[in-house]
Chain A
Amino acid sequence: MDNNRLKQFDMPGWLLKDERYCPQTDKDTFINKSILSVLSILSRIRAQSICKSAKYSVNAMFKVAFTFMLILLISFSRNFTFIVIINIYLISTLCLMDADVIVKILKISFVTTFFTFVVLVPSAIWGSSFNTIMITTKEFATITAVSILSHSTRWNSITGALKCFFVPNIFIVVLDITIKYIVMLGDFALNMLYALKLRSVGKNKSKNTSVSGIAGTIFIKSKEMAEDMYAAMECRGFTGEYNVYNGFRFNIADVIYIVINIGIIITFMYFERI
């Protein structure tokens, strides 16, 4: 009992003083914003890597080829009926996808289509309303087609598919590494941003300069990582050439997809009187 009381008297005065520390507010929304934007990109790529593969999924090679063809046909077409048919086809594929994917795709399509429309409003007022409708519907179809491709196919299978179209190896290497490194470097940047946010309490003048520090560190880090990785790949026998090993087999989904696309080509020829 006595001991306790003694200890209480031993406490230094400044410790017992009631202190209310309110750190001065500082403008650090830029940190939060960059954290959020890095996170959103990372989560999109991560969501891609756990992309569930359906039992019967169309081969990525066909998807890439026919989407490319579809975009070409859309831009060549001068017939509104053809564009309407393509839009109905795209919407009906869209309705089979998951709800949140549909929302993502439609958001992009509608926003871009709306801006195109706004840009074209003067031309509609001056009399060429047909072109305005034509271009906006074409835009909607193109964006939706590309979004459906990118949301229904994993990115590494798209790069794999590029190999079949005689895209130079160096291009595929760069693309592949870029996608992988966006994740790793993004993680790295995220950790540094967290550290910056946690350690700077109150007003801190050097906060802005630390951001350039983060950028510089990431650059150095990326250079180191790239060299390390290339060395590691060479050690494992990588000669700069990509070979696609896939036991490719036609399944029923491929056949249906090809039939649909041949149908699209025939419709295009019918409407363009080729």
Chain B
Amino acid sequence: MHIPDNYLSPSTCAVMGAAMVPIWTISVRKIKSEVTKEKLPLLGIGAAFSFLMMMFNVPLLGGTTGHAVGGTLLAILLGPYSACISVSVALLIQALLFGDGGILAFGANCFNMAFVLPFLGYFIYKFVKDRAITEKGEYLGIVFGSYIGINVAALCAAIEFGVQPLLFKNAAGQALYSPYPLSVSIPAMTIPHLLIAGVVEVIFTVAIFSFIKKVSPGTIYEGAKRKTKAIYGLIVVLICLTPLGLLATGTAWGEWGADEINEVVSGGSALGYVPEKMANGFSFKAIMPDYAVSGLPEIVGYILSAVAGVAILIILFKVISTFKKIKVGDSIG
């Protein structure tokens, strides 16, 4: 679901970026007023979770891959505003360090995965949970929230892809950016997500939520016991398991490189050309492109990337927490 550079026109990117600015501003303000200094590093752990979950690629129909995002999980654990910032920062690290998702398309990616997904997922969870008071009702809310959340996010990405050929064409009628219209992009994105990636997101969300609820309820409920060690342990286990994500070969739909798109088959025929701006558009060289370290086997590179990403996210939010002044009553409340 990470839209690379040159798939969306710069104007689309600008619009999506502009849409994110007020959302980020409100989220930062909410976090400033509501999240205490001690709880801020939890946002980093949340971002690390999201980062790791996005590394678990699962094979989808038609030779592409997809992944869970964990936006709903973070929204339930930390609140939707914190989830928005956590996922945004995780996406930024992915874009800058690992070349996953474009720099120009950062606003659009954040809109799909850091705004639509956590907020929608959270409100569905809340809606279901408030009507069914039992524990089963809570889990039902999580299932519905995470499933609908990731699918609507995929739909948003599909619409952003599909609008491109309608708006931007060269004189020969060939698309300048993403070449597939809505009639191709929507089924190509949503059907695999409805069938597989959505289910994976639900499994991850329910499994991690129930684990955290069991070992460290203080993360979810105020005043209960909080065990950070168990959560760090879970992160280590997830890091060790990330190479599973390499089993899924193939490129995710809409994330092909300029060299691949020529041969992509959709609707029975290959595209046959490389869209103009994709061949010679904006390019950014990441430090560890595609989660690989040159000179190392793929699996080792993948694990190292996971460790580096998690460490950087945790450090980032710990550093941010030192900027926050201790307010009177923080330690009491």
Give chain A residues whose Cβ lies under 8 Å from the Cβ of B319. 99, 102-103, 106
- Cβ distance A90 to chain B, nearest Cβ, rounded Å: 9
CA distance in complex: A94, B312 (Å) = 9
- Cβ distance B307 to chain A, nearest Cβ, rounded Å: 5
Give chain B residues whose Cβ lies under 8 Å from the Cβ of A81. 293-296
B318 engages A99 (CB within 8 Å) = yes
- Cβ distance B79 to chain A, nearest Cβ, rounded Å: 21
CA distance in complex: A27, B294 (Å) = 58
CA distance in complex: A88, B293 (Å) = 12
Q: Is A79 an interface residue (CB 8 A)?
A: yes
Per a CB cutoff under 8 Å, which of A88, A106, A271 touches B308?
Answer: A88
Contact string against A for B residues 100-134, beta-carbon threshold 8 Å, 1 for contact and 0 otherwise: 00000000000000000000000000000000000
Contact residues, A77-99 vs B (CB, 8 A): 79-81, 84-85, 88, 91-92, 94-95, 98-99
Give chain A residues whose Cβ lies under 8 Å from the Cβ of B304. 84-85, 88
B322 engages A95 (CB within 8 Å) = no
A95 engages B294 (CB within 8 Å) = no
CA distance in complex: A271, B322 (Å) = 38
- Cβ distance B187 to chain A, nearest Cβ, rounded Å: 40
Q: Is B314 an interface residue (CB 8 A)?
A: yes
Per a CB cutoff under 8 Å, which of B294, B295, B312, B322 touches A103?
Answer: B322
Q: Is A241 an interface residue (CB 8 A)?
A: no
- Cβ distance B265 to chain A, nearest Cβ, rounded Å: 36
Given the contacts A99-B41, A102-B319, A103-B322, A92 and B307 also touching, CB distance less than 8 Å: yes
Q: Is A100 an interface residue (CB 8 A)?
A: yes
**Chain A interface residue bracket vs B:** 10 to 19
Contact string against B for A residues 91-130, beta-carbon threshold 8 Å, 1 for contact and 0 otherwise: 1101100111011001000000000000000000000000
CA distance in complex: A127, B295 (Å) = 23
A91 engages B312 (CB within 8 Å) = yes
Q: Is B65 an interface residue (CB 8 A)?
A: no
**Chain B interface residue bracket vs A:** 10 to 19
Give chain B residues whose Cβ lies under 8 Å from the Cβ of A92. 307-308, 310-311
Greatest chain B CB density within 10 A among A79, A92, A100 is at A92
A95 engages B314 (CB within 8 Å) = yes
Give chain B residues whose Cβ lies under 8 Å from the Cβ of A79. 295
CA distance in complex: A84, B318 (Å) = 22
CA distance in complex: A56, B77 (Å) = 31
Contact residues, A59-88 vs B (CB, 8 A): 79-81, 84-85, 88
CA distance in complex: A271, B295 (Å) = 9
Contact residues, B274-333 vs A (CB, 8 A): 288, 293-296, 304, 307-308, 310-312, 314-315, 318-319, 321-322
Given the contacts A79-B295, A81-B294, A94-B315, A99 and B308 also touching, CB distance less than 8 Å: no
Give chain B residues whose Cβ lies under 8 Å from the Cβ of A271. 295
A91 engages B318 (CB within 8 Å) = no
Per a CB cutoff under 8 Å, which of A85, A91, A99 touches B322?
Answer: A99
CA distance in complex: A95, B321 (Å) = 13
Given the contacts A85-B304, A88-B304, A88-B307, A95 and B315 also touching, CB distance less than 8 Å: yes
Give chain B residues whose Cβ lies under 8 Å from the Cβ of A102. 315, 318-319
Given the contacts A102-B318, A103-B322, A84 and B293 also touching, CB distance less than 8 Å: yes
CA distance in complex: A84, B305 (Å) = 10
- Cβ distance B236 to chain A, nearest Cβ, rounded Å: 10
Give chain A residues whose Cβ lies under 8 Å from the Cβ of B311. 88, 91-92, 94-95
Contact residues, B201-231 vs A (CB, 8 A): none
Greatest chain B CB density within 10 A among A85, A94, A99, A106 is at A99
CA distance in complex: A98, B311 (Å) = 13
Give chain A residues whose Cβ lies under 8 Å from the Cβ of B322. 99-100, 103
Give chain B residues whose Cβ lies under 8 Å from the Cβ of A95. 310-312, 314-315, 318
| Residue of A whose beta carbon sits closest to that of B296 | A81
Contact residues, B67-89 vs A (CB, 8 A): none
Contact string against A for B residues 131-146, beta-carbon threshold 8 Å, 1 for contact and 0 otherwise: 0000000000000000
CA distance in complex: A84, B301 (Å) = 11
Give chain B residues whose Cβ lies under 8 Å from the Cβ of A106. 315, 319
- Cβ distance B297 to chain A, nearest Cβ, rounded Å: 11
Give chain B residues whose Cβ lies under 8 Å from the Cβ of A99. 41, 318-319, 321-322
Q: List 8 A-B contacts (CB under 8 A).
A: A81-B294, A81-B295, A84-B293, A88-B304, A88-B308, A92-B310, A92-B311, A99-B318
Query: A-B pairs with the 6 shortest C-beta distances?
Result: A99-B318, A92-B311, A95-B311, A95-B314, A81-B295, A91-B311
Chain A residues near B (Cβ < 8 Å) = 79-81, 84-85, 88, 91-92, 94-95, 98-100, 102-103, 106, 271
Known: A99-B318, A100-B322. 6 other contacts (CB 8 A): A81-B294, A84-B288, A88-B308, A95-B310, A98-B318, A106-B315
